Amino acid sequence: MASATGPDADSERRNVSDAVGVAVLGACAAWSLITAAMHDGRPEGVLLAVLAVSAGYASGRISGALVPVAAPCAGALAGLGLALAEPRIAPGPQFDAPLGHAGATAALLTLAAGSACCAARAASAPVVRVPLWLLAVGITGTALVLGSDSGFVLCTAVLLCSLAAGRMRHRGLGVVGLGLAAALVAGATWAVAGNVLPGGLTESLEGQLGPHRVRLWQDALHMAHRDSGLGVGPGRFGELSNAAAEALLPDGKPHSAPFQMVAEQGVVGVLLLAAAFCWVLHALWRTPRPTPVALTAGAALTGLAVIASVGDALSFTAVTAGAGFLAGLATAHPVADDASHTVPEARARGDRLAP
């Protein structure tokens, strides 16, 4: 009989985590349809994002199980290539960082750096590990070349977190720290939009964020106050926002995932967004992959959460699919690990092995 801490217990915990993820993503899709039906909204963007995350996660789980080193390496190269191709691969108006395509570029570079670091952490041979670390450093340098200051800062943070993760024995504290970092940034944006910070600090943050972005966030808060239950409906922010209408290149978005969710889908929508991020962190906490791999992926996904709090990165399918892919890689159970345990477990049971 397997013990409560054996492979069967680990498998059961992974199944529970996967079931929770399916429930959360399904609830995100269902709630967007409900709010769209109540306010004649357009839920296609949310549904596409949910589909991209789901497809990326499934691809990451499968490829991470089969080729745990090659898969994240390929993901890093793909993310780098997409970042170099932005914004030419995506239609629509151009915005300054971290709005629009500039935010998507920073997000893709952050995810690419995280994938490269995960590949380096998963590699056992130094001849393979060193080039992968150099790839991560090269992606960080590319952010400077592309003029993405936020991308450079976050890629550097992912690199440092990955190096520090190698010295951590228990991942729980690291996962909690990542969650608190994302919550702190999200809380700071709400404080700026609500004008609850001291005057000097508010002016300083508004100067870095841009007054137009802050006005968009304030419009989102006003919409949430008018209908906190259901919001104004998916895709309808641009129709009701004065700040969005006054923009030179209006795109109808508040350029912040939490503000967009609370304005268009109410309090339930933003809680579902937070639940999706918490589920990812929980899955990384329970993953059978080594702690450095789990915390490296968590650092990259937290970096994405930071960008999404102050920009429009989650509106790009490549970003949401890449986030799902990295999360899937970091929570996959490599087939080689199962094979390595088959022989000793069979011997412990006294089974007869084939020659």
Cα separations in angstroms, 296 against 71, 305, 353: 15, 14, 38
Would you mind telling me the total number of residues written for the chain in this entry? 355
Model pLDDT, residue 342: 42
Joined tokens for residue 128: 């393979």
CA distance 310 to 259: 9
Mean pLDDT (the chain, rounded): 86
CA distance 296 to 327: 10
Model pLDDT, residue 13: 67
Helix axes 317-331, 291-310, angle to 10 degrees: 160
φ, ψ for residue 72, nearest 5 deg: -65, -30
Model pLDDT, residue 355: 38
Q: Rounded mean pLDDT of 84-107?
A: 62
Residue 30 reports pLDDT greater than 90: yes
Model pLDDT, residue 100: 52
Contacts of 243 (CB under 8 A, 6+ apart): 212, 215, 216, 218, 219
Cα separations in angstroms, 17 against 43, 59, 172: 26, 17, 16
Higher pLDDT, 33 or 346: 33
pLDDT band at 227; cut points 50, 70, 90: confident
Domain extents in the chain: 9-340
pLDDT band at 17; cut points 50, 70, 90: confident
CA atoms within 13 A on the CB side of 132: 26
pLDDT band at 96; cut points 50, 70, 90: very low
pLDDT band at 249; cut points 50, 70, 90: low
pLDDT band at 247; cut points 50, 70, 90: low
Q: Report the number of secondary-structure helices (H) and strands (E) in the chain.
A: 15, 0
The predicted-structure confidence for 266-304, as pLDDT tens digits, reads as follows 999 999 999 999 999 999 999 999 999 999 999 999 999
pLDDT band at 49; cut points 50, 70, 90: very high
CA atoms within 13 A on the CB side of 207: 6
Model pLDDT, residue 86: 66
∠ at Cα 264 (263, 269), nearest 5°?
90
Higher pLDDT, 101 or 114: 114
The predicted-structure confidence for 76-89, as pLDDT tens digits, reads as follows 999 999 999 865 44
The predicted-structure confidence for 172-213, as pLDDT tens digits, reads as follows 999 999 999 999 999 999 999 888 877 677 788 877 888 888
Higher pLDDT, 157 or 93: 157
Cis peptide leading into residue 98 (ω within 30°) = yes
H helix intervals, the chain = 7-39, 44-66, 70-85, 100-122, 126-145, 149-165, 172-194, 199-209, 211-226, 237-240, 242-246, 257-286, 291-310, 317-331, 335-349
Residue type, 250: P
Q: Rounded mean pLDDT of 61-75?
A: 96
Token pair 């691969």 is found at: 89
Most confidently predicted of 134-143, 190-199, 230-239, 346-355: 134-143
H helix intervals, 166-256 = 172-194, 199-209, 211-226, 237-240, 242-246
pLDDT band at 90; cut points 50, 70, 90: very low
Q: Rounded mean pLDDT of 66-70?
A: 95
33-39-44-50 Cα dihedral, nearest 10 degrees:
-40
The predicted model scores a pTM of 0.89
Model pLDDT, residue 344: 46
Model pLDDT, residue 8: 60
203 burial type by CB count under 10 A (0-12 exposed, 13-18 middle, 19+ buried): exposed
Cα separations in angstroms, 328 against 115, 121, 154: 11, 16, 21
CA distance 69 to 290: 13
